[in-house]
Structure 1
Amino acid sequence: MIEEIVKCMPINEFDPTIQKVQTEHRLKLVDFWNIKEGSKVLEIGCGQGDTTAVLAYTVGETGFVHGIDIASPDYGSPVTLGNSMAFLKNSPLGNRIKVNFELDILQEKVDFPEKSFDYIVLSHCSWYLKSPEEFLGMLKKIKKWTNVLCFAEWDTRVQTNEQLPHFLSVLIQAQYECFVENSLVNVRTLFTPKDIQQIVEKAGFEITTEKIIDSTHLQDGKWEIEYTLTDYKELIEAADHLPIKYKALIQSEMHLLEEARSQNKYTSLNTYAFTARIGE
């Protein structure tokens, strides 16, 4: 199964094993969500298609996956979103996939008939949102399109010392992004599981099943640490818009992150996942 899916995705030239690890994680998510063959799925924040490919394989030839993302197809590295999705669309799974980039779900023109989809999936994409208000508005809008919401995001409830550097890297990013408008980075708003639960309930969904999934072996923690210590270090040092004391705080956190990286003892955070239905 996994080899069939991995063949449908472009292989990272720097490390061919990356895609297998990422796909294994998405298989765990889709299995937990219990998505059925023949289903129609809307995936919001589809990105490079890691979850899209697993969804397409799962729903089979009689199913359909519509992926949408607000980002440009030129976004992403080392493979852009557009190139990755083009590769997937040209694979054996491509005939059951539709993808739209640069599509804001909150735009008035974006709409679907009531209960168009058996499931709506948000997989590791909520931290890209601008604010809790945007998240809430999106959930309120999409609930008429489905009965089941499937969700996954990194779990900020650190379980081991090795997870602290990943958490610290995203915390630094989220703190800096509080002072930035129109950002295109990975972490724009940091949601804890409690934040997510409250927003989901306020939007009119009721969480029916939830699970913490071990994702410590994923490469994302390393990526976020490296990204923070390169791009954000320069941004913070050059920042004139940050309060002086606040800037000093983030720089201290950066020093802690550098120390953690030098010890080479870090893993990714776990993943918080759930399914939810429209509340009564």
Structure 2
Amino acid sequence: MVDEIVTCMASNNDMSDIQRIQTEHRVKLAEFWGVKAGARVLEIGCGQGDTTAVLAHFVKENGFVHGVDIGSRAYGAPITLGESADYIMRSALGKQVKMEFEIDILASEVEFPINSFDYIVLSHCSWYLESHEALLSILKKIRKWGKQLCFAEWDTNINTIEQYPHVLAVLIQAQYESFKQTSEANVRTLFTPSDIRKLASEAGWKIENEDSIYSPKLQDGEWEVGQVLSEFETELNHLNDMPEKLASLIKSEVSILKDHIQKQEMKPLSTFTFTAR
């Protein structure tokens, strides 16, 4: 199954090993969500289609996956969102996939008929949002569009010391991102599982099943740590309104991060996931 999906991804040409690991993780999510053949799915925050392709495989030829993302087709590297979407839609999965970009799900003109989807999916996309209020508004708006919400985001509750660098890197980014008005960072707002449960409940969703899924081969923890170590000085130098004491604290946290990765193996965080109606 995984190899079949990976061949439909643009990154299969140069990064097949990375893509295979990412796809294996998303297969676990789709299995937990119980995505059925023939289903209609709305995926919000589809990005380059890592989850989109997996969902398309699960819904089969009689199903349909509509992926939307607020990012532009030119966003992303080394493969842009647009390039990745075009590749998927030309692949064997393309007949059951539609991917659109620069779609603000909260815009008044973005609407779908009541219960037009069997599943509405938000997979590893909530930390890109600008605020807790934005996620709450999205969860409220989409309720009438579909029967089941399928949600996944990194689980900030660490189970092993090897996961500590990932969560520390995320916390460091979230601190300086809170001073920005606009951003294209991976971590713009940090949501814990408790935050997400609360927001889902406030929006009127009732969580039926939840889990924490661990995929130890995922490279995301290493990517986030690398991002912090390569860019934190630039970030701090550009934030003139940050208190000096907080800037010093972040530098100390980076020092802790550096010390830790020299002594311990690094592993990614688990993924908090749930289904709700």
Q: Measure how far apart 1:79 and its partner are.
A: 1.2
1:16: Cα distance to partner? 2.9
Structure 2 equivalent of residue 234 of structure 1 = 234
Secondary structure of the corresponding residue to residue 11 of structure 1 = helix
- Larger deviation: 214-223 or 258-267? 258-267
How many angstroms does 1:13 deviate by?
6.4
1:18-97 matches, within 5 Å, as 18-97=18-97
Q: CA deviation at 1:234?
A: 1.9
What SS is found at the alignment partner of 1:17?
Answer: helix
Deviation at 1:233, TM superposition (A): 2.8
The amino acid across from 1:18 in the alignment is I
Query: Which residue pairs with 1:129 in the alignment?
Result: 129
Partner of 2:205: 205
How many angstroms apart in 2 are the aligned matches of 1:177 and 1:242?
11
Instruction: State the partner residue of 2:251.
Output: 251
- Count of aligned residue pairs for this structure pair: 277
Question: How far 1:182 sits from its partner (Å)?
Answer: 1.2
Q: Which residue of 2 aligns with 1:106?
A: 106
Q: Structure 1 unaligned runs (5+)? A: none
Structure 2 residues without counterparts, runs of 5 or longer: none
- Which whole-Å deviations, capped at 9, do the CAs of 1:37-80 have from their partners, x for residues lacking one? 00000000000100000000100000000000001111112211
The verdict on how the C-alpha distance between 1:185 and 1:222 changes in structure 2, with shifts beyond 3 A counting, is same
Kindly provide the CA deviation profile for residues 228-253 of structure 1, in whole angstroms up to 9, marking residues without a partner as x. Answer: 11122321145322101011111111
Change (3 A) 1:13 1:256: farther
AA in 1 matched with 2:231: D
Aligned partners of 1:73, 1:263: CA distance in 2, in Å?
A: 40
RMSD (Å), alpha carbons: 1.2
Alignment of 1:115-154 (within 5 A): 115-154=115-154
- Measure how far apart 1:27 and its partner are: 0.3
What is the CA–CA distance in structure 2 between the aligned matches of 1:12 and 1:172, rounded to whole Å?
32
1:212-223 correspondence to structure 2 within 5 Å? 212-223=212-223
The equivalent residue for 2:186 is 186
| Stretch moving more, 168-177 or 70-79 | 70-79
CA distance in 2: counterparts of 1:77 and 1:240, whole angstroms: 28
Cα 1:272–1:253 shift into 2, 3 Å: same
Aligned counterpart, 1:155: 155
Identical counterparts, % of pairs: 53
**1:233-280 deviations in whole A, cap 9, x for unaligned?**
321145322101011111111111122233352110000110000xxx
TM, length-normalised to structure 1: 0.96
How big is each residue's C-alpha offset from its partner over 1:10-51, in whole Å with a ceiling of 9 and x where there is no partner? 236664310000000000000000011000000000001000
Task: Provide the rounded CA distance (Å) in 2 between the counterparts of 1:251 and 1:14.
Answer: 35
Alpha-carbon separation, structure 2, partners of 1:94 and 1:264: 42
Contact 1:115 1:145 in 2 (8 A): yes
Q: 1:147 Cα deviation (Å)?
A: 1.4
TM-score w.r.t. structure 2 length?
Answer: 0.97
Taking the aligned partners of 1:92 and 1:14, their CA distance within structure 2 comes to 19
Partner-residue secondary structure (3-state), 1:164: helix
Partner in structure 2 of residue 2 of structure 1: 2
> Is the 8 Å Cα contact of residues 6 and 16 (structure 2) preserved in structure 1?
no
C-alpha displacement at 1:89, in angstroms? 0.9
